[in-house]
């Protein structure tokens, strides 16, 4: 099974809205980034055709609709989501598609966003079934009443996640969410990043420890993927059963923050997950013929679950 992931596209190609809302030269103004990921998924570049295409949120850029109230900002949000969906409609009909909302997609309700994306594309908490794996996308809370309050997963969100992580299904779970689920709050220093000055719970769930404990207790999740942070990062943790000397489906969980499709440092970079009988491999691909340094992760399912490679490589271009 092959799955293509995009993150934080911040699509803003509609220029009829006040361009002061989008910095000049912002990569989200260039639809070729998303088109390149779609072409790769379709196998147009000579690659194997993907079985699924998953976007992990922040499809659009406009934030001013939240700051200035509904009106032109919200109109631009809707237009950009429609244009985003039109690019995704070029995907081969055999490719399953799934999406979760990010905080930048939160100007409208889940239902309205679903209507913009179209019925073909699953949005929110859903599952893409594979022979050897379940891709579980968790559309947990990304719409705080006050932006500065940050995020907290609701009881219903946690109940749904628990049902997937502790089900009787023997297949491993690849868990997908917009916000990081590694809960590395203690390692987060806003002063050293472009997130300077923001409240830490804008970047992590306030009940992130509970969420992370659920993941590790399930001993069923070899890989967790998220967007939101824009910069790629990997972190490995032992699962609860393994640390207690018990048998488990997987012994470790690899938490991976995916690169932003539109961040200047990683513009045009998307992620590809290949699942085999004996494990899975996550790699990064670029739509441009340029050399970049970003980390990749390879994950093997089973007691030997460990990062096969956890370093820095040049992103291979496919065009």
| Overall average pLDDT of the 222-235 stretch | 88
For residue 198, give the CATH number of its domain.
3.60.21.10
The residue among 31, 37, 30, 29 whose CA lies nearest residue 7 is: 37
Would residue 96 count as lying in a domain?
yes
Would residue 319 count as lying in a domain?
no
Would residue 290 count as lying in a domain?
yes
Asked if pLDDT for residue 15 goes beyond 80, the answer is no
DSSP-based three-state secondary structure for 160: helix
Would residue 292 count as lying in a domain?
yes
Burial classification of residue 126, based on how many CB atoms lie within 10 Å of its CB (0-12 exposed, 13-18 middle, 19 or more buried): middle
Greater model confidence, 176 or 47: 176
Domain of 274 in residue numbering reads as 2-314
pLDDT tens sequence across 38-87: 999 999 877 799 999 999 999 887 654 444 444 555 667 777 888 888 89
pTM for this structure? 0.84
Would residue 281 count as lying in a domain?
yes
Asked if pLDDT for residue 262 goes beyond 60, the answer is yes
* Structural domains of the chain, count: 1
Rounded alpha-carbon distances, angstroms, from residue 74 to 17, 32, 92: 10, 24, 30
Neighbours of 296 (CB within 10 A): 21
Q: How far apart are CA 34 and CA 28, in angstroms?
A: 9
pLDDT class for 312, splitting at 50, 70, 90? very low
């Amino acid at each position: 099974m092959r799955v293509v992931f995009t993150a934080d596209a911040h699509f803003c190609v509609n220029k009829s809205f006040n361009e002061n809302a989008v910095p000049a030269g912002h990569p989200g103004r260039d639809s070729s980034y998303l088109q390149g990921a779609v072409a790769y998924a379709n196998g147009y570049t000579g690659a194997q055709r993907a079985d699924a295409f998953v976007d992990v949120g922040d499809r659009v850029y406009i934030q001013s609709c939240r700051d200035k109230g509904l009106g032109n900002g919200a109109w631009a949000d809707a237009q950009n989501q429609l244009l985003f969906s039109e690019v995704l409609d070029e995907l081969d009909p055999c490719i399953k598609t799934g999406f979760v909302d990010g905080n930048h997609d939160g100007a409208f309700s889940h239902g309205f966003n679903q209507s913009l994306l179209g019925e073909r594309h699953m949005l929110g908490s859903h599952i893409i079934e594979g022979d050897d794996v379940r891709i579980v996308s968790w559309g947990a809370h990304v719409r705080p009443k006050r932006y500065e309050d940050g995020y907290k997963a609701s009881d219903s969100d946690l109940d749904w996640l628990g049902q997937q992580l502790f089900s009787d299904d023997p297949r491993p779970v690849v868990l997908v969410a917009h916000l990081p689920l590694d809960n590395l709050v203690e390692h987060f220093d806003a002063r050293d990043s472009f997130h300077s000055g923001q409240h830490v719970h804008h970047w992590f769930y306030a009940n992130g420890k509970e969420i992370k404990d659920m993941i590790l207790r399930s001993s069923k999740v070899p890989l967790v993927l998220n967007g939101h942070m824009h910069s790629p990062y990997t972190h490995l943790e032992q699962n609860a059963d393994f640390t207690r000397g018990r048998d488990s489906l997987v012994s470790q969980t690899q938490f991976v923050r995916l690169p932003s499709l539109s961040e200047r440092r990683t513009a045009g970079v998307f992620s590809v997950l290949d699942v085999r009988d004996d494990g899975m491999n996550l790699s990064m691909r670029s739509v441009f013929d340029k050399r970049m340094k970003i980390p990749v992760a390879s994950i093997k399912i089973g007691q030997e679950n460990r990062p096969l490679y956890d370093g820095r490589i040049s992103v291979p271009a496919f065009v």
